[in-house]
């Protein structure tokens, strides 16, 4: 269902009315398209604390021209005196270790946030917390509150995120994603990039337009909605996609698979032999496993039958645990592989009438955190999750009007996301050069005002 309010707010009369009445003023987001593959404008690199990362070579490969070359002096004018509005502000705050140095974060961004182009990006680079240094841990943790607050006030379709890293080269695929239109609905997030696993590929070795070429992906719940967007995006990036859904969705499943030259696999993911049948359909192995299949059976707990509870937990969590464990143990998931599961902000913040659904999606978060280090150490496979917020699908179109409007407007971006937003985030996590991203749960929610 079209977001008529978003369209109205983008018109001149709509801007006048929303300003006079104090209503939300969402800005249509600039998402990736073949015609618009990158942000429109230069990147300005700033610093706070003692800069020690060699960022310029990596940032130069994002496709955005660097404005002013070396990091600008906090509070000073951009080097070179360039007048064009930056599409991205990148602040290297990895060297901030004291409360006094936090003032440099303010000094660097305070004079520049208003100059950021609409649908621009603010990306703060932080360091991992040092448990041996309470001062460093305190101020680096403080950057999370800073980023989430700035994201709620900056407006204009702009996003603000925090990336913790030690090696810019290991974070190159992540930098490219966060500084592109593909991350339009990822806002207020904290992402950690560690050391890459041995099978991680250098970004320079990967086809920029088809990074998944030669790799096989399996998407569950592929017949419609977010699943269909996942299939199309992974196929766009070069993957051979096996599309799995329940037999009753066979017509839609065949349609989606044939549209991308993929293979349909009609299968109930909760069946006892599901993992064995998946392995049989993939004799040459699997590189990307995307757990997207999920159901809802909403009721308040007092009115929820055991059947409703058990069905949701089995599809959304039990099948994910069983299938992942089996495909890893049997070697179907090859080294250098990626597991991306779908969580939800309901599993992070809870939601009325969804105790079963929220339990299952919180369970996904727990699985990712526990399995990620083991899967990488033993199998060379990374494990991450996306946690969608309000996404415009046929399911949310059936939600009552007032609840639907609340879901759309209660975000920093003032609008719902699209299935494409979830798919783009998944494709980044599935990237061959994203091996240093492991154990992360990334909300794709436009910084929902519910939850952390």
Catalytic residues: 357
Sign of the CA dihedral running 48, 52, 55, 56: positive
Neighbours of 366 (CB within 10 A): 13
Return the closest-CA partner of residue 243 out of 210, 281, 215.
Answer: 281
14: which DSSP letter?
Answer: H
Contact 421, 185 (CB under 8 A): yes
398: which DSSP letter?
Answer: T
Contact 354, 346 (CB under 8 A): yes
Beta strands in 235-364 (DSSP E): 240-245, 263-266, 286-291, 333-342
How far CA 273 is from CA of 134, 270, 283, 323, in Å, comes to 50, 8, 16, 10
- Residues 344 and 298: their CA atoms lie apart, in Å, by 15
Return the closest-CA partner of residue 278 out of 341, 220, 364.
Answer: 220
Neighbours of 31 (CB within 10 A): 18
Q: Is 16 exposed, middle or buried (0-12, 13-18, 19+ CB in 10 A)?
A: exposed
- Residues 266 and 253: their CA atoms lie apart, in Å, by 8
* Cβ contacts of 370 within 8 Å, gap of 6 or more: none
Query: For residue 398, which phi and psi values (nearest 5 degrees)?
Result: -85, -5
Q: Residue 72: beta bridge partners?
A: 46
Contact 190, 162 (CB under 8 A): yes
Beta strands in 19-114 (DSSP E): 43-49, 66-72, 88-95
No. of helices (H) and no. of strands (E), the chain:
16, 13
Beta strands in 145-301 (DSSP E): 159-164, 190-192, 216-220, 240-245, 263-266, 286-291
Return the closest-CA partner of residue 165 out of 139, 140, 198.
Answer: 140
- Residues 118 and 158: their CA atoms lie apart, in Å, by 6
């Amino acid at each position: 269902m079209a977001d008529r309010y978003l369209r109205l707010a983008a018109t001149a009369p709509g801007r006048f009315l929303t300003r006079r009445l104090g209503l939300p003023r969402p800005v249509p987001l600039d998402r990736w398209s073949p015609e618009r593959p990158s942000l429109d404008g230069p990147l300005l690199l700033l610093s706070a604390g003692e800069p020690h990362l060699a960022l310029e070579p990596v940032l130069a490969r994002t496709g955005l021209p660097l404005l002013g070359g070396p990091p600008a002096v906090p509070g000073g004018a951009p080097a070179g005196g360039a007048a064009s509005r930056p599409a991205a502000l990148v602040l290297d705050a990895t060297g901030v270790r004291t409360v006094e140095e936090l003032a440099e974060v303010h000094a660097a961004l305070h004079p520049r946030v208003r100059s950021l182009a609409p649908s621009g990006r603010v990306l703060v680079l932080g360091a991992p917390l040092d448990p041996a240094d309470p001062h460093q841990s305190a101020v680096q943790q403080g950057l999370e509150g800073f980023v989430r607050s700035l994201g709620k006030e900056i407006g204009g379709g702009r996003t603000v995120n925090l990336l913790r890293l030690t090696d810019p080269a290991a974070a190159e695929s992540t930098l490219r994603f966060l500084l592109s239109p593909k991350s339009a609905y990822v806002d207020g997030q904290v992402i950690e990039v560690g050391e890459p696993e041995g099978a991680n590929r250098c970004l320079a070795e990967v086809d920029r337009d088809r990074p998944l070429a030669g790799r096989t992906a399996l998407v569950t719940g592929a017949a419609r909605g977010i699943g269909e967007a996942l299939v199309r995006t992974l196929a766009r990036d070069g993957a051979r996609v096996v599309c799995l859904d329940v037999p009753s969705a066979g017509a839609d499943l065949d349609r989606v698979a044939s549209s991308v030259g993929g293979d349909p696999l009609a299968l109930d993911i909760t069946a006892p032999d599901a993992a064995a049948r998946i392995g049989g359909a993939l004799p040459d192995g699997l590189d990307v496993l995307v757990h997207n299949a999920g159901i809802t059976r909403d009721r308040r707990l007092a009115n929820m039958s055991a059947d409703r509870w058990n069905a949701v937990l089995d599809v959304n969590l039990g099948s994910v645990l069983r299938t992942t464990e089996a495909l890893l143990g049997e070697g179907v998931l090859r080294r250098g592989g990626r597991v991306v599961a779908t969580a939800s902000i309901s599993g992070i913040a809870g939601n009325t009438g969804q105790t079963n659904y929220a339990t299952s999606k919180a369970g996904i978060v727990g699985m990712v955190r526990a399995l990620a280090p083991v899967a990488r150490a033993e199998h060379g496979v990374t494990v991450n999750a996306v946690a969608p917020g309000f996404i415009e699908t046929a399911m949310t179109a059936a939600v009552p009007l007032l609840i639907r409007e609340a879901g759309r407007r209660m975000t920093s971006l003032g609008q719902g996301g699209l299935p494409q937003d979830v798919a783009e985030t998944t494709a980044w996590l599935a990237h061959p050069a994203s091996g240093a991203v492991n154990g992360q749960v990334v909300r794709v929610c436009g910084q929902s005002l519910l939850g952390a």
